[in-house]
Amino acid sequence: GDSVTQTEGLVTVTEGLPVKLNCTYQTTYLTIAFFWYVQYLNEAPQVLLRSSTDNKRTEHQGFHATLHKSSSSFHLQKSSAQLSDSALYYCALKDTGGLSGKLTFGEGTQVTVIS
Amino acid sequence: GPKVLQIPSHQIIDMGQMVTLNCDPVSNHLYFYWYKQILGQQMEFLVNFYNGKVMEKSKLFKDQFSVERPDGSYFTLKIQPTALEDSAVYFCASSLKLDYAEQFFGPGTRLTVL
């Protein structure tokens, strides 16, 4: 079946330093899109980034990610972490050719930014 | 941005009872979803709903589960009867389209079955 893997469950980073969250996937879908969702404490998950184009960098709020179909990856990066970036981050895969619109989520990475 | 509301935020019930989880989706959205997240695990797709019908459901969507959205009111997930393994956080989501459109999520309802 289809799956998304986030290898880090917990990441602690010092404010001002770079952070990278890994996301890899396996899928049989022919047309796909990827999302990074961020969930702050006691809030709803919200989209941070999305992409469906191979090898094209997408950016939002200082974060960036590039879909690489050759390596089945959609890693999330930020050059300078901020205290406000502390949250739970989910990578998600979507079949854009089917009828369900189903998102397949990774396990999530809890990011804590320390001063 | 657009908000999805979920009521209640927490629900504790005894095994075998019925429970209804309510979702108030984004007003002009057409597609509605439920996801289930057991503690410590990833969020998993349960079902999606469009134009009054279930479009697709996963293996997690047991016979005891049902969804509806009567007359454009709340989008509901009903579990009857509940089982211990139904304890989880249930997230509702909605979207305007299916393809590349963003799904907007609610904050979840934490269901505890005793």
- Render pLDDT for B37-91 as a digit per residue (tens, 0 to 9): 999 899 999 999 999 999 999 999 999 999 999 887 899 999 999 999 999 999 9
Highest mean pLDDT among A42-46, A78-82, B27-31: A78-82
For residue A6, what is the nearest residue in chain B, using CA coordinates?
A: B42
| Interchain CB distance below 8 Å, A100 and B56 | yes
Structure tokens at A88: 């739970």
pLDDT in tens, A54-65: 999 999 999 999
The beta strands (E) that lie in A1-115 are given as 3-5, 10-14, 19-21, 24-26, 32-39, 46-51, 57-60, 63-66, 76-78, 87-95, 103-105, 109-114
A-chain CB neighbours of B58 within 8 Å are 102
A-chain CB neighbours of B108 within 8 Å are 44
B-chain CB neighbours of A108 within 8 Å are 42
Q: pLDDT category, A97, cuts 50, 70, 90?
A: confident
Report yes or no: B55 at the A interface, CB cutoff 8 Å: yes
> Chain A to chain B, count of Cβ pairs less than 8 Å apart?
69
Distance from CA of B14 to the nearest CA of A (A): 25
Of B4, B45, B55, the CB nearest to A103: B45
* Residue A101 buriedness (CB in 10 A; 0-12 / 13-18 / 19+): buried
Report yes or no: B2 at the A interface, CB cutoff 8 Å: no
Query: For residue B72, what pLDDT is reported?
Result: 74
